[in-house]
Structures are given as C-alpha cells and as structure tokens.
Structure 1
C-alpha cells in the first residue's frame, strides 16, 4: 500500500511514508494509487469509548467512513451515466459502494449505493485489461469499468451475504425478545407458573 497523504486528515500531524496509521491520533489513513487494492484481510484495532469497543476514525482518500464502516476494496473505476463516462476511485466497504470522480473532472460525479439496496451484481463487457461490472439496485442500474472485475463482484457478493446473515440473526433475536416478553407478561399475571415459564423459556432459546 502506498500512502500519498503527508498529513493526517483528522489531526493534521505528519504521516510517515509507508505508514497507514497516524501515530498521534491513531486514525487509519488510507490513500493508494493501486488499480485494485484488497483490504479485506486488514485487521482494524478497536478502542474503548464509553465502555464500548469501537473502531477509531478510518479515512479513505480523506473521507471519514461512517461508524462501524470498514474498507474492503478500493481502486480505479470509470462510471457510466448515460453517454458520459467519468474516471475516479471506487470503494467497497462492509456497508456500501461509493464512487468519487477525480478532482480534475468537470461536473464532478459521485455515487453511493447501500449494499442493502442491491439486488444483483454481475460482470458485463470484458475489455483488454479491465471489465465492466453492473450493479442493479431496487431503483436503478449502475455500470462501472474496473480492474479485476471478477474480484470486485466476488467481494461485493460476500459483503451482501454478510449483511443478509446479520439481518437474519437480528430478526431471530427480535423474535426471541418478543416471545420472552409475552411469556413474562403471562408469568406476571399469574397465568403460568415459574416452572412453566422456565420450561417455555428454554424451548424458545433452544437450550
């Protein structure tokens, strides 16, 4: 990974070459000129804040990512909007895909697609050294030309699968909470005994 920024976007402290973390405020600072950079194996240390484990600030090309958001893949991309093609950088995080045009582009184009809004992502045309990927969301379709198109599609699908898994787990947990609250009300009203409550609770929690 090559770091081009010489100052931390958070505290302004100088960044040493080849470092990806500010030694002063401990923010992560990622700026790369790689055509395709896979960050999925990076381990970001969490810090304790108000008795909660949270990631410190993570900056990618000077932009602070949202709370709990971590970068997965970034690289060069061309974004097709109608008959217009705009060159820039594309970033995949564990929550979204975003595109930012190069600063020298006239009529700068930016796009952000939440992973939860994506229906399908697949390969389009295959060029000499790059590939087109098509991202269909529920309200529109987005076309990008990137390097390592197959890897982009794989990484996006992996993150979509993780979100679906998390949503399923959250739904199961919410159902447990609802059922346990109903059961507790029956106990408080004297409709069932403590023994019956304990038995049904174990059945609900599968323990």
Structure 2
C-alpha cells in the first residue's frame, strides 16, 4: 500500500509513485532506491518546480544521481541519509533515525576542488569531497566509482 504525501510546493496530497503533483505540476523525487541515476530529459518541464523530498532545486538545476549514504566522521560515528548530485551542487540530508536528524549539508560544484575514492568495503566505498575552504567531507556510498564519475562529469 502506498501512503499519500504532501506536495512541498502547494501542500496538496499526492501519490509518491506518480512523482508529479496533479495540482501544481511540481516534480517530486521520493525514491527509496539504493542508488539511481536520473535521465535529465525527465526534468525538462517548463516552469515547473523540482523537489528532492523537501529540497527545492534552483533555477535550471536538475538531479543527476541520488542514493543512500552515510556522512562519515570516524569508525564509530556517522550519519545516515540520502546523497543527491545535481548539475549545480552535492546535497546530503540525514534521515530521521540519527543523532542529528536535521543534518543538512551541501556544496556547490564550483566550490569543489577535487574528489577522491577512499577505502573500499565489500559493497560500499568512501568518496571524499575537497572544497575551496580546505574542508574534506567523506561519504560512504554504494558504487563510489560511479559517484565520482558522475561528479567528474558535472565538474567538467
């Protein structure tokens, strides 16, 4: 059974399997998939807003890849949630089952200096994001090499 959700744009009830609000036409991504790469043609909706859960995309911004991920701090500490790559930024939102359930992190791609592949675990990999402020942020994701390839395409 699919439960109804509310559109983050107009607050109308919508069916999450449809992805489009029938009242305002906003495109709402609510994927529960481990990893998904989007087709940019799906988002060429004239004058329609695009939301990733409750996060509104900027003008001319569209999703490229999303998936489960952990923001990694140390071997004993991380926050789980979803990582989203758009053509403009990389966004992480923690899910509700965390010590920091309201954690939100983002970096605009023009602030990314480089990326690197970290340690490889059986089915997951660490990816490291280095920004112009000298910060290093590490995520544990499925398909780390694919994430880095997609980020690399966006940076070029």
**TM class, shorter-length:** 0.7 to 0.9
| 1:72 shift after superposition | 0.8
The number of equivalent residue pairs is 152
Deviations 1:146-199 (A, max 9, x none): 0111110011001111xxxxxxxxxxxxxxxxxxxxxxxxxxxxxxxxxxxxxx
TM-score normalised over the length of structure 2: 0.88
Q: 1:9 to 1:145 in 2, by over 3 A?
A: same
Find the counterpart in structure 2 of residue 121 from structure 1.
Answer: 115
**Unmatched tracts of structure 1, length 5 or more:** 48-54, 162-207
TM-score normalised over the length of structure 1: 0.67
Find the counterpart in structure 2 of residue 204 from structure 1.
Answer: none
| 1:36 shift after superposition | 0.3
Does structure 1 retain, via aligned residues, the 8 Å contact 2:66–2:84? yes
Structure with more of its chain in helix, by fraction: 1
Find the counterpart in structure 1 of residue 77 from structure 2.
Answer: 84
1:104 aligns with 2:97: yes
**Unmatched tracts of structure 2, length 5 or more:** none
| 1:41 shift after superposition | 4.0
Q: Which has the higher contact order (CA 8 A, sep 6+)?
A: 2
Which one has the largest radius of gyration? 1
Mean Cα deviation higher: 101-110 or 4-13: 4-13
Find the counterpart in structure 2 of residue 164 from structure 1.
Answer: none
Structure with more of its chain in strand, by fraction: 2
Find the counterpart in structure 2 of residue 150 from structure 1.
Answer: 145
1:75 aligns with 2:62: no
In the alignment, the residues of structure 1 paired with residue 60 and residue 122 of structure 2 have an alpha-carbon distance, to the nearest angstrom, of: 37
Runs of 4+ in 1 over 2 A off after TM superposition: 3-7, 40-43, 81-84, 107-110
